[in-house]
Chains A and B, each alone.
Chain A
Amino acid sequence: MGLFDEALKVLADAVDRSVIVAGPEGKVLQANRRARTLLSWEQPDALVTRSLETIPFALSTRSRLQRDPGPWEEETTIEARGRLIPVLVAKRPIAVRGRRAGSLVLITDLRDVTTAIAERDRARRNDLAKTRSLHMVAHDMSGAVTIIKGYVALVQEGSLGIDELERYVPVLADQLQHMERLLNALLDTARLEEGGLELRLEPLDLADFVEDLVRKMRAPETGHQLMVRREAAGLPILADPIRLDSIVRNVLSNAIKYSPEGTVVTCTLRLDDGATLEVADEGGGIAGDDQSLLFTRFGRVGELATNPPGVGLGLFLSRELARLHGGDLTVTSEVGKGSRFTLRMPLRDGGAR
């Protein structure tokens, strides 16, 4: 047998449907691996005695296979290992030098197709969510870029002197840092998906860490009051400071973003099963159905999804990061009563000071 014939056999075994080649009288000459499995023709010499009419299709299909040279295809059933399987059968005539030489019968297991369609739909939904989330990241970035661009343009056209620009350098630095955080969130999300996220653990104290961060975050323009309540003297943990910063910052800015200006956001630090940070806001709260959406990769809740800007990645990433540390991030909330996010991290050396 030539190379081409061998190649065809390899190809026939590689396709995801059953392929049968029959002679002019309907005698089976070749069947690919999938066909042999489907029809239990595993013995090497099994083919010799077979003909198309012995394939256990529904009766009408059997007779059509015999009399109708094709091309045609139809949905039918086949009996395999005692079960009726929905299949799509196609028959194609094969001519050699203009004369009918036989036929090709293709059988597609429709159960595979259903799974494939469900899989494709799921992938498509995930793609859509990803696109939406990319839009949100792009939106967040566009604000920062506009600000930086604006100042640069003002300097370029000479309407803002370099000495005057100095006044705005902290703003520019803030915007760049904001963009850097967005970029890191995107990168971490991608790394999570690929399983390549590595933590750089350091001994630190959750209570001190949160207090420090809250001091840095007090944003006068929102008018929110950030309160820290320490119910434990120290909460020693092992954590990656950059990721911990991202988790706590996310939960805090989330609380600020979704609660009215001038209200109080309370951070309580306590020792229970582990080192615990509880962030409680006086916002509108989140309905039970929506709570489960909060932590999906690209989920944001209800009409909020169209209003305040923000990246859907935030809470998903925060929870995943917390879990990588051996901890967790959870929420309890009631509509009209605000939300309470709880970050629980394992204590270092299993003990507290």
Chain B
Amino acid sequence: MARVLLVEDDIHLRLVTRLVLEQGGHVVDESPDALQALRHLRHERPIKTEVIVADMRMPEMNGLEFVAELRTHDRLSPIPVILLTGDVDARDNAPPEVSVVIKPFEPSQLLEQIIQLTAATDTN
């Protein structure tokens, strides 16, 4: 069970992903774009977000730019990130520490990925 920040510009994708995450027992905060997500994270003190799930392709700031921006903040850079993308080649473009889930994905795939990431940070 984790607190997940979902960043997705498509309202329908946001809704169904939220449902999937909640069915997996997670608590979900959501943001329609990366800039609002950054604002949300900056105001969160202490940081409660344990995992960020973000779409790769978003207007204004895309998933990769969002990750790069997170990395510039000491407080935010340790939060694990999962990028959702329809581009099969995206894994090659993403930084190695970022998880990539290819759309269309099985809901269980996303949930497993979150369990893995939270387990990894718990043991650290």
On A, residues with C-beta under 8 Å from B are 135, 138-143, 145-147, 149-151, 153-154, 157, 159-160, 168, 171, 174-175, 221, 306-309
Contacts and interface: CB of A to CB of B under 8 A. Distances in A.
A146 B62 contact: no
Contacts of A160: 19, 23
B103 A143 contact: yes
Interface string B7-20: 00011110111011
Contacts of A139: 57, 85-87
Most buried by A among B16, B85, B105, B108: B16
A237 B103 CA distance: 42
A274 B25 CA distance: 60
Given A139-B85, A150-B20, A175-B12, 19 more contacts: A138-B86, A139-B86, A139-B87, A142-B103, A146-B16, A146-B84, A146-B105, A149-B106, A150-B16, A150-B17, A153-B107, A154-B16, A154-B20, A157-B23, A157-B107, A159-B23, A307-B58, A307-B59, A308-B59
A221 B19 CA distance: 19
Interface string B62-102: 10000000000000000000001111000000000000001
A16 B62 CA distance: 51
Contacts of B57: 139, 307-309
A229 B20 CA distance: 43
Nearest to B56: A139
Contacts of B16: 146-147, 150-151, 154, 168, 171
Given A138-B86, A139-B57, A308-B59, A171 B12 contact: yes
Contact of B106 (A135, A141, A153, A174): A153
Given A154-B19, A309-B57, A149 B62 contact: no
B66 to A, nearest CB: 12
Contact of A146 (B60, B87, B104): B104
A307 B10 contact: no
A228 B103 CA distance: 37
A135 B87 contact: yes
Contacts of A306: 62
23 contacts: A139-B86, A142-B104, A143-B10, A145-B103, A146-B105, A147-B16, A149-B107, A151-B16, A151-B19, A153-B20, A153-B108, A154-B16, A154-B20, A154-B23, A159-B23, A160-B19, A171-B15, A171-B16, A221-B11, A307-B58, A307-B60, A308-B57, A309-B57
B14 to A, nearest CB: 10
B103 A146 contact: yes
A141 B58 CA distance: 15
A147 B23 contact: no
A35 B123 CA distance: 78
Q: Which 6 A-B pairs have the closest CB atoms?
A: A142-B86, A150-B16, A145-B104, A139-B86, A142-B103, A159-B23
Contacts of A142: 86, 102-104
Contacts of B23: 154, 157, 159-160
